[in-house]
């Protein structure tokens, strides 16, 4: 019995897949990376953009054709809006919410001859030991769900209210990973900064969590994702520069640089407050690499309002952004607003943001020529090795028999483009 994963969306979905994988392995399934040999196809969906949902329906047609020729079971989990679920029910054999992962074995019994008992699976799915995809890089979820209800976002409806994972359970998972030699750990949650708000101990907050993680000895880096500007505390900003294992990289979603649009998005900050936060963080960490999320063409966004976003891109000097051309998600507040920016205009604004980012990243990369960077080697292609600096920039070096994936090395940067650094 072989299973294949098709994962869409964010790091949280990849992390969920590692827990689903652990359950399937315990039932006697084996993972394959060849879709054509799978008996079970698992789709981890993302409802955040309509585009991802359309792609899933495209694949369903293919799987239905395969089902005419041989047995194939299709399973759907991840972020799926109720409205999308209704349509998906006909398209998939099995749909389950990740929170109900402990019920998966029972449901698979209708399709596969399973012998294992499902009794040992923890009812809180985040407590399931994952089957990590990599031997040196791991996602560690610290919370799931979100209480923020940004007007365009499906997550609070698909994942529900925010639930934080117990403090000690997170620490134990990270200690185990570091003891096994893992070098890069990413703490994931829809809003990591509000970690612990639902736990009944004010000491179990995000700043204390990362301070505690930093005391674990070993050679490793810890990133965290995603942040909400309104919830980044002064304690966190104070703590970050002194932590050994937390690199100088921050993903700080902006979404829009215009105050009216930010209000309509229900983001709870203004352009000035966002820029003041960036300034405060950069004062503490001058070498900080900042990335962001931007939505272009939100309902009613005028050209002038979009220019405010471009101004913030330039002032904050983002080096990368996940840019979304707005699409309404059913059931969200913004879906009731008129989606009145044309597709062509959204595409144009997307290109303009990209152009501004490319200019910034090239300038910033060129400043690094001649410097020595600590790089974690993470990929091998032909005669080259690739790795990431502390601020997550890609570095290319020549392959060498003494170097392998997972090594920390020092690289002297000799050249730079907008896409990568190269050195010796």
Tell me which residues touch ligand SF4 (CB under 6 A).
146, 148-150, 153, 155-156, 190-191, 228
Is it true that the peptide bond before 226 is cis, omega within 30 degrees of 0? yes
334 three-class SS: helix
Q: Which is nearer to ligand SF4, 77 or 190 (CB)?
A: 190
**321, 293 Cβ separation under 8 angstroms:** yes
Q: Which is nearer to ligand SF4, 255 or 373 (CB)?
A: 255
How far apart CA 176 and CA 25 sit, in angstroms, is 20
In 10 A of CB 242, how many CB atoms? Answer: 10
CB of 150 to ligand SF4, least distance (A): 3
Q: For residue 371, which phi and psi values (nearest 5 degrees)?
A: -85, 165
Q: Which is nearer to ligand SF4, 9 or 247 (CB)?
A: 9
CB of 228 to ligand SF4, least distance (A): 5
Q: Which is nearer to ligand SF4, 19 or 228 (CB)?
A: 228
Q: Which is nearer to ligand SF4, 191 or 292 (CB)?
A: 191
For tokens 């913004």, name the residue. Answer: 334
Residue 409 Cα distances to 378, 379, 390, 415, angstroms: 11, 13, 11, 17
CB of 156 to ligand SF4, least distance (A): 5
CB of 153 to ligand SF4, least distance (A): 3
**244, 210 Cβ separation under 8 angstroms:** no
CB of 72 to ligand SF4, least distance (A): 33
CB of 253 to ligand SF4, least distance (A): 7
Q: Which is nearer to ligand SF4, 190 or 365 (CB)?
A: 190
CB of 144 to ligand SF4, least distance (A): 10
Q: Which is nearer to ligand SF4, 153 or 376 (CB)?
A: 153
DSSP label at residue 166: P
DSSP H/E element including 315: helix 303-316
Helices (H), 92-145: 104-108
Question: Rounded to an integer, what is the distance from CA 349 to the centroid of its chain?
Answer: 24
Q: Which residues pair with 377 in a beta bridge?
A: 387
Q: Which is nearer to ligand SF4, 191 or 291 (CB)?
A: 191
For tokens 């030699």, name the residue. Answer: 181
Q: Where does residue 142 rank: exposed (0-12), middle (13-18), buried (19+ CB within 10 A)?
A: buried
CB of 250 to ligand SF4, least distance (A): 15
Strand-pair category, 320-325 with 289-296: parallel
């Amino acid at each position: 019995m072989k299973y294949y994963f098709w994962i869409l969306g964010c790091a949280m979905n990849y992390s969920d897949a590692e827990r689903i994988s652990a359950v399937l392995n315990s039932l006697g399934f084996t993972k394959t990376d060849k879709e054509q040999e799978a008996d079970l196809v698992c789709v981890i969906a993302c409802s955040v953009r309509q585009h991802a949902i359309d792609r899933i329906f495209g694949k369903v047609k293919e799987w239905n054709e395969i089902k005419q020729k041989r047995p194939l079971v299709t399973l759907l989990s991840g972020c799926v809006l109720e409205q999308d679920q209704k349509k998906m029910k006909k398209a998939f054999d099995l749909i389950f919410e990740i929170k109900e992962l402990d019920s998966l074995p029972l449901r698979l019994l209708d399709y596969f001859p399973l012998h294992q008992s499902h009794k040992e699976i923890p009812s809180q799915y985040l407590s399931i030991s994952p089957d990590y995809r990599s031997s040196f890089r791991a996602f560690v979820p610290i919370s799931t769900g979100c209480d923020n209800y940004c007007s365009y976002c499906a997550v609070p409806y698909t994942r529900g209210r925010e639930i934080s994972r117990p403090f000690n359970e997170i620490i134990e998972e990270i200690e185990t990973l570091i003891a096994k030699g893992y070098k890069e750990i990413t703490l994931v949650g829809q809003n990591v900064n509000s970690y612990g708000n639902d736990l009944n101990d004010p000491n179990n907050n995000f700043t204390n969590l990362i301070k505690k993680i930093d005391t674990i000895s070993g050679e490793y880096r810890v990133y965290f994702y995603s942040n909400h500007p309104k919830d980044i505390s002064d304690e966190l900003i104070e703590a970050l520069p002194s932590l050994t294992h937390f690199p100088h990289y921050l993903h700080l979603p902006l979404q829009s640089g215009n105050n009216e649009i930010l209000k309509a998005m229900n983001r709870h900050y203004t352009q000035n407050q966002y820029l003041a936060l960036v300034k405060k963080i950069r004062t503490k960490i001058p070498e900080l690499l900042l990335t962001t999320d931007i939505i272009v063409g939100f309902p009613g966004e005028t050209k002038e309002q979009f220019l405010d976003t471009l101004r913030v891109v330039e002032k904050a000097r983002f080096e990368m952004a996940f840019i979304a051309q707005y699409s309404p998600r059913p059931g969200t507040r913004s879906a009731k607003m008129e989606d009145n920016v044309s597709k062509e205009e959204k595409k144009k604004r997307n290109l303009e943001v990209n152009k501004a980012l490319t200019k910034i990243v090239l300038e910033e990369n060129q400043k690094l020529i001649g410097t020595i960077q600590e790089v974690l080697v993470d990929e091998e292609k032909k005669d080259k090795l690739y790795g990431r600096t502390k601020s997550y920039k890609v570095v290319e070096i020549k392959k060498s028999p003494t170097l392998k994936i997972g090594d920390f090395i020092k690289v002297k940067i000799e050249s730079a483009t907008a896409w990568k650094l190269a050195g010796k």
